[in-house]
Chains A and B, each alone.
Chain A
Amino acid sequence: MKNLLSIDDLTKAEAIEILDTAVTLSNLSETGVKKFPTLRGRTVVNLFFEDSTRTRISFEAAAKRLSADVINFSAKGSSLSKGESLKDTAMTLQAMGADAVIIRHNSSGAAHRLASQKWIDGAVINAGDGTREHPTQALLDAFTIRRNLKNDQGDLKGLKVGIVGDILHSRVARSNVLLLSKLGAEVVLIAPPTLLPVGVDSWGTSVSYSFDEVIGDCDAVMMLRVQKERMEDLFFPTEREYSRAFGLTKDRIAMMKESAIVMHPGPMNRGLEISADSAESNKSVIVEQVANGVSVRMAVLYLLIGGATTRDLETHLGENK
């Protein structure tokens, strides 16, 4: 595995290896080991063409805990906002010797392009490209589901996950559909028809227009952020109408299975796709997702540029204890 551009790049075994590595790292963090020397001397660049504080600091924390040097390169106030091309930026980073480039870009396929054009030698990690994919988000979501419902073990067979909201514009949804299906979970997409892409029937999921009909069957519901400007593009009539049909409310929480969990990739629009009390209910694992994000991103960096396997990690860590 050289890059992580899409969940499609991963076999099921590789995906599980990332999750298992993240479990090891997360457990060690909990016992008080906060920093590992594994990536000392390696340079990781956060190349963010699109603002995203949460994802950027999550990657930054992950890289720093592995002792990598981190350079943040974001659009605002840099050459990127002066019209520098992706190619020139990439060649600049190449000249500076980046071992990994974590890229967030508003154009679908940008990470793929960066990697396939050989503009840089380092590993490319997709931190969200347009409306296509966000693979580390899917990995952290799978990690969170597995931790809560499968005791950190194996795959996700037997579980049903509902992804609710703006599927059409969601890279989180695309990556999750690929990964959850790969790990054996059943996925149901819940959205108004306007927010489902034409061609969604080829995704291998089921689709429901009625949240109420399917919520009781789900082991996890993943609420997607709905951007308010979608309303102006006629995707739904009003925020209130959207919220009534597809928002997660206390009443809908009451319809969920006892063991089921509520997820959200953030940032939330409280009162639109999720009510405040739902976000803070005892089913919510939203804050946990953030913590898991760091562990999962550490695992990805470790496996991509640490040049090692999980077994090496254990040896490595043994030496440092």
Chain B
Amino acid sequence: MNTWQIKNLFDVHGKETELNVEAGLFVDQFSQDAQPQTIDARGLTVIPGLVDLHTHLREPGREDAETVLTGAQAAVAGGYTAISAMPNTLPVADTAGVVEQVYRLGKLHQLCDVYPIGAVTVGQKGEQLAELTAMNQSEAKVRIFSDDGHCVADPLVMRRALEYVKLFDGVIAQHAQDPRLTENAQMNEGEVSSKLGLKGWPAVAEEAIIARDILLTEHVGSRLHVCHLTTAGGVELIRDAKKKGLNVTAEVTPHHLLLTDELAGSFDPVYKVNPPLRTNKDVAALRAGLADGTIDIVATDHAPHPQESKDCEWSAAAFGMLGLETAFSICYMTMVKNELMSLSELVDRMALRPAQIARYENQGEIRTGNRANFALVDLNSSWTVEPEQLKSKSKNTPFAGMELPAVIEKTFHNGALVFDRRG
């Protein structure tokens, strides 16, 4: 079982290679009694299974939008073998009980590793610290904590959280959004919002929190991870923090690498997302930041919503868009096709670096002895995004109808074939 000999592959550097998997592990040589199934993967490239640190699975509570199962199915269709479930469920994942439930559902489905992210504060209310150690010591071994869509705005609460997670080498993933500067905000504040009459969401609301959190991190000597950077100014702040040698990491979403606030002019809420789509200048800065390593990783912020949450007027619609199934293609198109970075660098940002930040084991690299988590991708082929064909339970993709390069053909988790586009 789960023993494969995969021939005629390219590696991420474009060199011909072969891959051997025995009993779910990467091996150099098969043992004598191994009976591998052979795959002729002519033309395909092998990449380590991708790792997402920002996923919304909606279970428990909003199973009409997504479940751990459908989210995991979407993940493997996108080449992911590890995803990180954000805590904004009903109830909020702020106790060992809830994180263990999500973790066990992931184990049960056996499609990919599902790691829960715990809430920083009780009910994501930003007031009282949740039982972080209990979540860390639970079966789910939570190491990343985030109040997700709610910024930990109170500087004292943020300071304590950063200090406290040093107990177990944890990291606080901050959704940087000053709440007072963004009350009822609908889209990026600038030229476009001024014309559309939609309430603006200034870049400074994001950057002010990032700047403060960097200072707090420096002061208490902890680990900070900044979720979904969207502004040129935010990239600069992270760049400076890294120059100082601080333990600050940052992510960018595929949609912020491609889409801009001009799309709000359609008033189609499929483009309504938190943090909002920004300007061309920001997109260019994010791409440059990802290419030079200032931005450590790509994270999807996969946010499924049922039809009725988007089939309405802009201000009534929910924030968020799907991401898992399109992430690799969007990043390949914006970063590799545009010659801003190599495939191996992109894979580093989408697999190994996130695994390192989260301390996920057996993820992010193809290494002898590791559990075999990888995907086969056809870089010379393309596909068209059809919402009805997506595995996610929801259909709110902003990329509908787009023809994208790079097709994920097969995904293997712990050596098991968990996704086969042709199967």
**Are B267 and A198 in contact, with the CB atoms below 8 A?**
no
CB contact between A198 and one of B186, B189, B308, B313 (< 8 Å): that residue: B189
**Are B197 and A199 in contact, with the CB atoms below 8 A?**
no
In the complex, whether B179 has a CB less than 8 A from a CB of chain A is no
Query: Interface code B279-323, partner A: CB below 8 Å = 1, 0 otherwise?
Result: 000000000000000000000000000001001111110000000
* Bound Cα distance from A197 to B189, whole angstroms: 9
* Bound Cα distance from A1 to B313, whole angstroms: 23
Query: Interface code A71-102, partner B: CB below 8 Å = 1, 0 otherwise?
Result: 00000000000000111000000000000000
**Are A202 and B195 in contact, with the CB atoms below 8 A?**
yes
Name B193's closest neighbour in chain A (CB-CB): A199
* Bound Cα distance from A76 to B202, whole angstroms: 34
If A86-B313, A113-B267 touch, does A171 touch B191 (CB 8 Å cutoff)?
Answer: no
List the B side residues contacting A130 at CB < 8 Å: 197-198, 315
Interface size class of A (residues with CB under 8 A): 20 to 34
Contacts of B193-216 to chain A: CB distance below 8 A = 193-200, 202
In the complex, whether B60 has a CB less than 8 A from a CB of chain A is no
Name A85's closest neighbour in chain B (CB-CB): B312
Contacts of A86-134 to chain B: CB distance below 8 A = 86-87, 105-110, 112-113, 116-117, 129-133
Query: Interface code A177-211, partner B: CB below 8 Å = 1, 0 otherwise?
Result: 00000000000000000000111101100000000
* Bound Cα distance from A13 to B310, whole angstroms: 37
In the complex, whether A225 has a CB less than 8 A from a CB of chain B is no
Of listed B199, B311, B313, B315, residue having the most chain A CB within 10 A: B313
**Are A112 and B267 in contact, with the CB atoms below 8 A?**
yes
- The A-B contact count (CB < 8 A) is 77
* Bound Cα distance from A105 to B314, whole angstroms: 11
In the complex, whether B23 has a CB less than 8 A from a CB of chain A is no
**Are B191 and A109 in contact, with the CB atoms below 8 A?**
no
List the B side residues contacting A160 at CB < 8 Å: none
Name A178's closest neighbour in chain B (CB-CB): B195
In the complex, whether B122 has a CB less than 8 A from a CB of chain A is no
**Are B195 and A199 in contact, with the CB atoms below 8 A?**
yes
Of listed B191, B196, B197, residue having the most chain A CB within 10 A: B197
10 A-B pairs, CB-CB below 8 angstroms?
A: A85-B311, A87-B312, A110-B313, A113-B267, A131-B198, A198-B190, A198-B193, A199-B189, A200-B194, A203-B194
Chain A contacts to B: CB under 8 angstroms: 85-87, 105-110, 112-113, 116-117, 129-133, 171, 174, 197-200, 202-203
Beyond the given A108-B197, A113-B314, A198-B190, could you list 12 further A-B residue pairs with CB under 8 A, ordered by the A residue number?
Answer: A85-B308, A85-B311, A85-B316, A86-B312, A113-B312, A132-B198, A133-B197, A171-B197, A198-B202, A199-B191, A199-B192, A200-B194
- Give the 8 A-B residue pairs with the shortest CB-CB distance, closest first: A132-B197, A109-B267, A199-B194, A197-B194, A131-B197, A199-B191, A107-B315, A107-B313
